[in-house]
Structure 1
Amino acid sequence: MKIITTSKIMKFLLFTVAGFTGFQTFAQEDEETSNWLLSGSVDTYFRTNFNGLNKQVYLDDGDDIPDIFPQAPASSFADNPGFAIGMANIILGYEGEKVGFVADLVYGPRGEDAVFLSDNSSNIVNQLYVYYKVNDALTFTLGNWNTYLGYEVISPAANFNYSTSYMFSYGPFSHTGLKADFNFDDNWTGMLAIMNPTDFTEFNPYGKYSFGGQLGYSNGMGSAYLNLLYGEQSYVSDEATFQIDLTTGWDLSDVFYLGLNATYQDTDGLGFYGAAIYPQFQTSENFAIGLRAEYFKELDNDDGIIDDGLVYGEDFRALDFTLTGSYTVGNLIIKPEFRLDSISEDVFVDRDLNANDNLSSFVLAAIYAF
């Protein structure tokens, strides 16, 4: 009887320990599951010109190279006529106490333009990095991340205006390298990075590197960031590229926000500078209206070719006025947008195929973000 009793007690203890261990394991798994992050967006749009053709125009001037007259501003994304699609974006991440990762995948025309210097044109990786949080003051990140320069970003869900600025389009999209982020206190932050040449996101084909830096200040009303980039971008020039960029935005009242971006980039006399303001009014709980007013000046660039091959010539100036409404219904954002571009050269074509220096257009975009 004693042996039987002891066996029952041992079985009970083993069952209790196993049950507690299983519960603890389940709790740990549930806690770990809660650290998994999933987000993303899909976007689509309609675009039309008021004073220009709504199709691509190819004219041969006799030099055996057809001239492509842009029927959209020479800025990235939202540049196709008629009904068009943007991209599908899925972001998977894990946020641990000390370590984590982000895998940001894009697919569609906007995504292809965003990763245009990837070795494979069908590449869908927008960001891919791991990080190690040493302590509350220092975090190391290794991999590929979207640029820290500028006011606008690749994701349409994170921009107020659907079409993008010239400063964003001419500047870096992404970087691959190693960076250190610093939290000096509750308001001040910093960043130092060593990176591949800009937008070479998969590997370094030239054996040369760029250096990045950032100093940031934020409080409950807004933030300001001073950004620096220096290094040889071999696909542009053998000379080093230097860019300094100021990005800031503040809630001046409960309904009025004002953002500002100013930037200057130079590579041995080639480059650009510009500035833009972003006033935004929250007119109701679901609707806001905002303006981007941008001045952009290209330095003496011999080719003047950006993004998808649209040519504005050398040393051009551009003014961009973009008025955007933003109506939110649940996770859906509807953005009607009017845009006027004025260029210092006759780079557009009107309905009679006459050269023109300005283009007025309308975009209606729909973005679902989750």
Structure 2
Amino acid sequence: MKKITLIFVLLVASIGFAQDAEEAPKKKFSYEGSVDAYYRTNLTATDTIAQSPASFANQTGFALGMANFIGSYESGKVGAVADLVFGPRGDQAVGSDVLYVNQLYAYWNVSEKTTLTFGRFNTFLGYEVISPVGNFNYSTSYLFASGPFSHVGLKADFALSEDFSLMVSAMNATDTNNNTTGDYAFGAQLGYSDQYLNVYYDSGVVLGLEIDFTGGFDVSDDMFLGINAAYQDNDGAGFYGAALYPQYTLSDDFSLGLRGEYFAMHGEGDDLPSVFDVTLTGSYTVDDLTIKPEVRFDSWSDNTPFYDNDGLPTESLASFLVAAIYKF
């Protein structure tokens, strides 16, 4: 009888422990990241004069991109993400006040359809991102270089239906980690079937107002077309532009992507610059390593930001680079 009682007690205890284990939130730690480097040279100009289009990938010769380490921890409905960057590309993106910290935030899945995020997170505007892993072209567009990179604040994401989504946010002015002015920014994003209308507004301390559309669709099984358009105004001056990103898959290992972009400044004056740039990028994948050869041509109007092989001012620049990106 004592043996039967002991077995029953142990059985009940084991069931109780099993229930506690099932009810306890599952804790999960994961990490990922990348490293990248490249070689770049100007085709229509000397490499001895510092000149490059837009931002990122703007050094000549052999150069470093960045190392990116992303750690995430999830426990039930809550979690946190630490995204650290090291290297020239990361330095340009995050700024000196939060050196190495690309993103650092905590989140709470309030329900299946609502998530709150608090901390520093990358911008919701634009087609391109800071990490080269998330972009088809290695060099970046003028729209990306001119818009915000990151925000510090609170955002709420709502899954309204299978197709519709909504995000609203209250933040410091863009790319501002230490708010010493008392100026804040507000953002919103309305999404429908992977098409997103984005709005950012601050009181004029950084960007003022920016309206951005980002999206794309499958033209065929092998071809995708990405789209980005933006308009920014701060007290009557700013920029606007649009870019198309056709991408074609030739095989499981190789694909081609083209970026055609028009970017212009607006405001007072008749000689404000504009630029048209075309970038053709190949993407060849070997396991976790991606090799990207790229040819880029930039042509400015009413401006001479570049120099040719004779050291004379010119409105256009052609360049070539090849990048190696390893993702883990």
For normalisation by structure 1, the TM-score amounts to 0.82
* Equivalence for 1:60: none
Identity %: 50
Q: Contact 2:204–2:235 (CA<8 Å) still a contact in 1?
A: no
Separation in 1, partners of 2:123, 2:31: 21
**Helix, strand or coil at the partner of 1:168:** helix
Q: Which of these residues, 185, 196, 215, is aligned with residue 225 of structure 1? A: 196
Return the offset for 1:293: 0.2
Give the 3 Å change call, closer, same or farther, for CA 137–9 of structure 1 in structure 2: closer
Return the offset for 1:205: 1.9
Give the 3 Å change call, closer, same or farther, for CA 137–28 of structure 1 in structure 2: closer
Give the 3 Å change call, closer, same or farther, for CA 301–363 of structure 1 in structure 2: farther
* Residue 348 (str. 1) matches residue 306 (str. 2): yes
Return the offset for 1:20: 8.5
Q: For residues 347-369 of structure 1, what are the alpha-carbon distances to aligned partners after superposition, in whole Å with 9 as ceiling and x for unaligned?
A: 11112111111000001001011
Q: Note the aligned Cα RMSD (angstroms).
A: 2.6
One-letter amino acid matched to 2:76: E
Q: Which of these residues, 271, 281, 291, is aligned with residue 324 of structure 1? A: 281
Separation in 2, partners of 1:199, 1:56: 30
* Equivalence for 2:160: 184
Give the 3 Å change call, closer, same or farther, for CA 19–189 of structure 1 in structure 2: closer
* Residue 153 (str. 1) matches residue 132 (str. 2): no
* Equivalence for 2:62: 83
* Equivalence for 2:80: 101
Unaligned regions of 5+ residues in structure 1, if any? Answer: 58-70, 303-313
Return the offset for 1:23: 11
* Equivalence for 1:139: 115
Q: Contact 1:197–1:233 (CA<8 Å) still a contact in 2?
A: no
Return the offset for 1:232: 2.2
One-letter amino acid matched to 2:72: G
* Equivalence for 1:363: 321
Matched ranges for 1:167-182 at <5 A: 167-182=143-158
Spell out structure 1 runs of 4+ moving beyond 4 A.
8-29
Give the 3 Å change call, closer, same or farther, for CA 166–23 of structure 1 in structure 2: same
**Helix, strand or coil at the partner of 2:221:** coil
Q: For residues 182-217 of structure 1, what are the alpha-carbon distances to aligned partners after superposition, in whole Å with 9 as ceiling and x for unaligned?
A: 1101110001111101101x2212111011001001
Separation in 1, partners of 2:6, 2:196: 64
The 10-residue stretch of structure 1 (40-49 or 10-19) with the greater mean CA deviation from structure 2: 10-19
**Helix, strand or coil at the partner of 1:119:** helix
For normalisation by structure 2, the TM-score amounts to 0.92
Give the 3 Å change call, closer, same or farther, for CA 96–186 of structure 1 in structure 2: farther
* Equivalence for 1:249: 216
Separation in 2, partners of 1:103, 1:233: 30
Separation in 2, partners of 1:109, 1:55: 19
Unaligned regions of 5+ residues in structure 2, if any? Answer: none
Separation in 2, partners of 1:213, 1:332: 36
* Equivalence for 1:299: 266
Q: Contact 1:271–1:301 (CA<8 Å) still a contact in 2?
A: no
Separation in 2, partners of 1:318, 1:254: 32
Larger radius of gyration: 1
Return the offset for 1:22: 9.3
Separation in 2, partners of 1:140, 1:19: 35
Separation in 1, partners of 2:268, 2:47: 29
Separation in 2, partners of 1:333, 1:26: 41
Q: Contact 2:290–2:326 (CA<8 Å) still a contact in 1?
A: yes
One-letter amino acid matched to 1:206: T
* Residue 92 (str. 1) matches residue 71 (str. 2): yes
Return the offset for 1:284: 0.6
Separation in 2, partners of 1:110, 1:333: 18
Return the offset for 1:24: 7.3
Q: Contact 1:161–1:292 (CA<8 Å) still a contact in 2?
A: yes
Return the offset for 1:176: 0.6
Return the offset for 1:96: 3.7
One-letter amino acid matched to 1:262: A
How many residues are paired up? 326
